[in-house]
């Protein structure tokens, strides 16, 4: 457990996050917006000028995970949210799958309402992909184009890495909460989700590594996301109710999937089954990339994203 006060933890996290932004030469603005059902607020960072593009991250993670791709998306207004319970946002406990479904249905509209924006394109990943796809069905008028980075949570045939299955056990979550989080732990998780090749070539910038460890150590993200994952995971995988199968055929938004061929949540067979279920989706497999493909290849993934959103 950290001996720092809450104020000291936030200051430590902000130092690491500022260094990450400095590494790409950009300075975001920041604001906090109300969110339905929360006593607190959601933190939003924004950078750039152009069409509004909302970035929704997976977990355990926060909005600044998208920083490496932003130099290649200069023609959009990038809106990075820390999902409730992550980064510097307040928490919104989600106790069961039905809560998560309702949260997903209204996430995009709630954030856009808080920002006074009518409509936005979406870039999403993992659990963020699940939430974005549910929003695309529930509030289609609020969403333009969508880019899904690799396997969205709940995809048909999705696999579940070992560390997430372990989080289904409360004693394991308690023990993990007492252990020090460091770069070795982070690298182990990255390997499980398909980023071994990038790790082996030293492809993760030190500023990103330092930021992510600070996220786990100096915010409540690790605990909150562990509880969220644990609520839907079992030792065999996620509960059957956690699925996109009935959702995918209803998604009308034009969607590009940029899917890492080494994604630990699902390889090409899962990718093709997911995209085939959607009426307006296309797929590009990214060789030697994992579950977060923009971290493996920021420039080409950023260029592909920019071209699709502008087309």
Does residue 298 contact residue 286 with C-beta atoms inside 8 Å? Answer: no
- Condensed to tens digits (0 to 9), the pLDDT of residues 268-300 reads 999 999 999 999 999 999 999 999 999 999 999
Output the CA torsion 155→161→165→171 (10° steps). Answer: -140
Question: Where is pLDDT greater, at 143 or 236?
Answer: 143
Mean pLDDT value of segment 61-80: 98
pLDDT given for residue 179 in this prediction: 72
The residues spanned by each domain of the chain are 6-310
Which CATH number does 6-310 carry? 3.40.50.1820
- With 90 as the cut, is the pLDDT of residue 230 above it? no
CA–CA separation, 13 and 33 (whole Å): 20
- Condensed to tens digits (0 to 9), the pLDDT of residues 94-127 reads 888 889 999 999 999 999 999 999 999 999 999 9
Angle at 79 between CA 74 and CA 83, to 5 degrees: 145
pLDDT given for residue 2 in this prediction: 64
- Closest by alpha carbon to 77, among 35, 105, 115? 115
- Residue 50 in tokens: 């152009």
Beta-strand relationship, 77-81 and 281-286: unpaired
- With 60 as the cut, is the pLDDT of residue 68 above it? yes
CA–CA separation, 247 and 152 (whole Å): 12
Does residue 215 contact residue 162 with C-beta atoms inside 8 Å? Answer: no
Mean pLDDT value of segment 220-242: 85
pLDDT given for residue 237 in this prediction: 79
Give 91's Cβ-side CA count (13 Å radius): 13
Mean pLDDT value of segment 159-171: 81
Tell me the pTM. 0.95
- Closest by alpha carbon to 240, among 150, 149, 125, 160? 160
Which distant-in-sequence residues (6+ apart) come within 8 Å of 83 by Cβ?
Answer: 42, 56, 57, 59, 62, 63, 89, 127, 128, 131
- Integer CA distances (angstroms), 174 to 19, 32, 186, 233, in order: 31, 30, 18, 16
Mean pLDDT value of segment 167-183: 78
Residue 5 DSSP class: -
Mean pLDDT for the chain overall = 94
């Amino acid at each position: 457990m950290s001996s720092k006060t809450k104020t000291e933890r936030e200051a430590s996290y902000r130092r690491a996050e500022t260094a990450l932004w400095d590494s790409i030469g950009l300075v975001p603005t920041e604001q906090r917006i109300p969110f339905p059902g929360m006593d607190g607020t959601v933190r939003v960072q924004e950078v750039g000028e152009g069409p509004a593009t909302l970035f929704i991250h997976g977990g355990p993670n926060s909005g600044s995970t998208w920083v490496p791709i932003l130099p290649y998306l200069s023609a959009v207004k990038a809106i990075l949210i820390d999902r409730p319970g992550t980064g510097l946002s307040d928490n919104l406990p989600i106790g069961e799958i039905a809560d998560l479904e309702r949260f997903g249905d209204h996430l995009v509209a709630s954030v856009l309402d808080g920002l006074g924006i009518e409509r936005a394109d979406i870039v999403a990943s993992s659990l963020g992909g699940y939430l974005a796809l549910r929003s695309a069905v529930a509030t289609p008028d609020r969403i333009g184009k969508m880019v899904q980075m690799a396997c969205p949570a709940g995809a048909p045939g999705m696999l579940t890495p070992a560390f997430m299955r372990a989080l289904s056990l409360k004693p394991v979550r308690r023990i993990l909460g007492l252990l020090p989080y460091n770069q070795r732990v982070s690298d182990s998780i990255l390997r499980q989700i398909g980023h071994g090749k990038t790790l082996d070539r030293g492809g993760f910038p030190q500023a990103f590594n330092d930021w992510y460890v600070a996220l786990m150590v100096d915010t409540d993200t690790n605990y909150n996301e562990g509880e969220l994952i644990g609520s839907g995971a079992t030792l065999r995988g996620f509960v059957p109710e956690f699925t996109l199968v009935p959702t995918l055929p209803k998604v009308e938004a034009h969607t590009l999937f940029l899917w890492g061929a080494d994604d630990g949540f699902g390889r090409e067979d899962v990718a093709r089954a997911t995209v085939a279920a959607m009426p307006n989706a296309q797929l590009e497999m990214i060789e030697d990339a994992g579950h977060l493909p923009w971290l493996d290849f920021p420039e080409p993934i950023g260029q592909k994203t920019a071209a699709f959103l502008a087309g």
